[in-house]
Structure 1
Amino acid sequence: MSCTSVERVTHRLTRDEARRIAVRAQLLDADRPGDVVEVAEQLGYVKIDPTATIAPCEHTVLWSRIGWSYEPGQLQKVVEVDRLLFEFDGAFRPMSVLPLMMPAMQQWPQRESSRQWLEANARFKADVLARLRAEGPLLASDIPDTAQVDRAPDGWSGKNQVPHMLDFLSRQGLVAIVGREGRHRRWDLAERVYPQDLPEIAPEEAERRLAERRLQAVGIAKHRSAWSRVGEAGEPAKVEGSSWTFRVDPEAIAALRRDDDGGRVAFLNPYDPMLVDRPRLSEVFGFDYVLEQFKPANERVYGYFAHPILMGDRFVGMLDAELDKKNGVVRVNAVHEFLPFDDEEHDIVRSEIAELGEWLGVPVAGLP
């Protein structure tokens, strides 16, 4: 359904309502989720990233939702023991989305250069699959590189072609990650990792349902957004003061009419899914977020890996902090306030920093 004309707009929202929808969809309101699986089911994925000034992304994303009761071992258990989540393409995903992803896996790759590389390395592919079948699960380093044709260096990986082949085979749904040893992935045949009774879903239906899941995760997104990829999911909406046409989750609209328990403070990892859609952050929240990780030190305003501070439904500042393992403290370098905090806001932020230290099991140094 096209929603380019004003007459077809189903919902008209204030900016406050749009922000509340987005915050609730990301489980950042006062009503905290109960466990890791609930978070993954709602968000659709939990990104994995090793940058750990405070803690790795996957753990800070979960802590910022669940709070003090979250422990890193809970994530490992639901992935490696319970098999309720699976790792794919740099994120932990709920097993419920796997049937929706399978049609695209079965058609991968679409890019001609990737097809040519796989065809040229047919023997190498067979070698990897045979090794996993006979000896798996294995680390990439346990598998010999028998590639006939190398991929061009990409600046991220070395000359060894095994990681490339494993990545390709995972995208085809032939191999899967069973767990990790530190930051190293352990691989096996997908048939020994994924459930074997998955429903078969037509590609068009799978993509439609994936778009609905993406909209569920963000609550509200620009129509045809390349960032949120919600397609035609949900219903058309306008937000006061914005020329955009949005798509909004009908269940999120219904939730606006329920009692509001208010907001809370959350420190968001720079790779948190709430921050992915930069244009929406600017349009709806008035927050022009720039990750300074890759900027020269003398050009940084807030810090190498500063965490945006969400208070209620507004971004109010940036937390520049790091886990100092040598001295066993969380070191707060700065709390940057976009507008000066009042006394209550100062207390709320200080309390959340103290809880961060308790979660990490170390005292806080430099608490403002």
Structure 2
Amino acid sequence: MAVTLDRDEARRIAVRAQRLDAERPTGIVPLVEDLTFLQLDPTAAIAPSADLIAYTRLGATYRPEALVEALETDRLLYEVKAMDDPVTPPFAMVRPVSDLGLHLDRMSRWPERLSGAQAWLEANDAFRRDVLALLRDRGPTLSKDIPDTAVVPWVSTGWTHDQNVTRLLELLQGRGEVAVAGRIGRQRTWDLGERVYPAGIEVVPEAEAARLRDERRLRALGIARRALVGDAGEAATVEGSTLEWRVDPAAVGLPFAGRTALLSPFDRLVHDRVRSQEVFGFEYLLEMYKPGSKRRWGYFALPILHGDRLIGKLDATADRKAGILRVAAVHEDEPFAPEARDAVRAEIDALAAWLALTPEYAS
């Protein structure tokens, strides 16, 4: 029998799973372990996505330096481009080292599913050996400082065309031979995987690891479409939805206390647009790639969470030179109640304070 959920309960399960309820997590590493990853994106209209996502959970005590320290000093988190995961789009992310063993077996066979990549690696095996030897000798190195000795260039209709060094590094990262050791500004430094990843990680066989990854993903989402989490958790029906859902049974029926948060456009609470519509009744689209005249909510509008509801979008930009958080508009999906309007205003002011900016509201 499927678990039957009304939409209020489904929303609360999702919010609580993403650590956006009133009980805040205690630090950046436990947070990433709960979420399973933080997406990295260079767009910083407000703040880099990973930092904004962390701030919305941890609050004003969060400092971006803590994320860098966990990545580059403590080695409790690691950066990867998720080309090895058929469920996750190929963007850069931070994952917890505690989950690394769930990926290593699959990574060892990478890139068996990526068309043309295996043949390209085989044709450029000498190039691969050159890069590994250089990293072994030099340690952490920027890609621009690695000679391109490819025999066969990488061919693509996109930006990766003829970007042989970067493409090789990302493919070798996908199978664990190299890893991101740190960053200098926005540029990654690369080293051998054996020097970045801790020794002694237990490798979980892929058949078991795939099941555990689905369970971890569902725990982080609370409730998800079956297509994203397989048979993890229990089958569920959601009031007003005809889709197949899976729910984390441990998340059902728990008490809920909400709060107000301004979310990154890349936040996992809103990333699945189908779930946003079906469960939250929330319409959203990142409009940064649209011409200004065609934007409804703004270049980098932040979804607004209030309690267990997504109630609007904030159009704001951090003007760091002027020291101002410019608030162009607060778009209310439905007219805000006075309590919600006050809470959203307080959260905007708190975000500005965390950014060390002064909020400036459009008249």
Q: TM-score range by the shorter chain?
A: over 0.9
- State the Cα distance separating 1:112 from its structure 2 match: 4.2
- Give the equivalent residue in structure 2 for 1:43: 35
The verdict on how the C-alpha distance between 1:20 and 1:367 changes in structure 2, with shifts beyond 3 A counting, is farther
Q: What percent of counterpart residues are identical?
A: 48
Pick one of 203, 217, 226 that aligns with 1:214.
217
Paired AA for residue 263 in structure 1:
G
Matches for 1:187-336 after TM superposition, within 5 Å: 187-223=190-226, 225=227, 229-253=228-252, 256-257=253-254, 259-260=255-256, 262-336=257-331
- Give the equivalent residue in structure 1 for 2:120: 117
Distance in 2, matches of 1:21 and 1:214, equals 14
Distance in 1, matches of 2:58 and 2:225, equals 28
Paired AA for residue 192 in structure 2:
L
Structure 2 contact 304–310 (Cα < 8 Å) conserved: yes
SS of the aligned residue for 2:25 comes to coil
- State the Cα distance separating 1:148 from its structure 2 match: 0.6
SS of the aligned residue for 2:237 comes to strand
Residue 55 (1) aligns with residue 47 (2) = yes
- State the Cα distance separating 1:284 from its structure 2 match: 0.6
Unmatched tracts of structure 1, length 5 or more: 1-7
- Give the equivalent residue in structure 2 for 1:99: 101
SS of the aligned residue for 1:67 comes to helix
Distance in 2, matches of 1:240 and 1:343, equals 28
Residue 20 (1) aligns with residue 20 (2) = no
- Give the equivalent residue in structure 1 for 2:60: 68
The verdict on how the C-alpha distance between 1:267 and 1:154 changes in structure 2, with shifts beyond 3 A counting, is farther
- Range with bigger deviation, 116-125 or 155-164: 155-164
- State the Cα distance separating 1:104 from its structure 2 match: 1.1
- State the Cα distance separating 1:128 from its structure 2 match: 0.4
Paired AA for residue 247 in structure 2:
V
- State the Cα distance separating 1:118 from its structure 2 match: 0.3
Structure 1 contact 308–315 (Cα < 8 Å) conserved: yes
Paired AA for residue 46 in structure 1:
L
Q: Normalized against structure 2, the TM-score is what?
A: 0.94
- Give the equivalent residue in structure 1 for 2:358: 363
Distance in 2, matches of 1:364 and 1:158, equals 43
SS of the aligned residue for 1:201 comes to coil
Distance in 1, matches of 2:335 and 2:282, equals 16
Paired AA for residue 221 in structure 2:
V
Distance in 1, matches of 2:65 and 2:309, equals 31
- Give the equivalent residue in structure 1 for 2:76: 84
Distance in 1, matches of 2:149 and 2:62, equals 43
Distance in 1, matches of 2:128 and 2:208, equals 31
- Residues 227-274 of structure 1: CA distance to partner in whole angstroms, max 9, x if unpaired? xx2111001111122222211111111xx23x43x2111111111121
Q: Normalized against structure 1, the TM-score is what?
A: 0.93
- Range with bigger deviation, 186-195 or 145-154: 145-154
Structure 1 contact 350–367 (Cα < 8 Å) conserved: no
Unmatched tracts of structure 2, length 5 or more: 82-91
Residues matched between the structures, number: 352
TM superposition outliers: structure 1 runs of 4+ over 4 Å:
none
Distance in 2, matches of 1:156 and 1:329, equals 34
Distance in 2, matches of 1:207 and 1:154, equals 32
Q: CA RMSD in A?
A: 1.2
Structure 1 contact 267–307 (Cα < 8 Å) conserved: yes
- Give the equivalent residue in structure 2 for 1:161: 164
Distance in 1, matches of 2:139 and 2:165, equals 14
Paired AA for residue 334 in structure 1:
A
Pick one of 150, 157, 165 that aligns with 1:147.
150
Paired AA for residue 12 in structure 1:
T
Paired AA for residue 140 in structure 2:
P
- Range with bigger deviation, 148-157 or 342-351: 148-157
The verdict on how the C-alpha distance between 1:86 and 1:120 changes in structure 2, with shifts beyond 3 A counting, is same
Paired AA for residue 208 in structure 1:
R
Structure 2 contact 320–357 (Cα < 8 Å) conserved: no
Paired AA for residue 237 in structure 2:
K
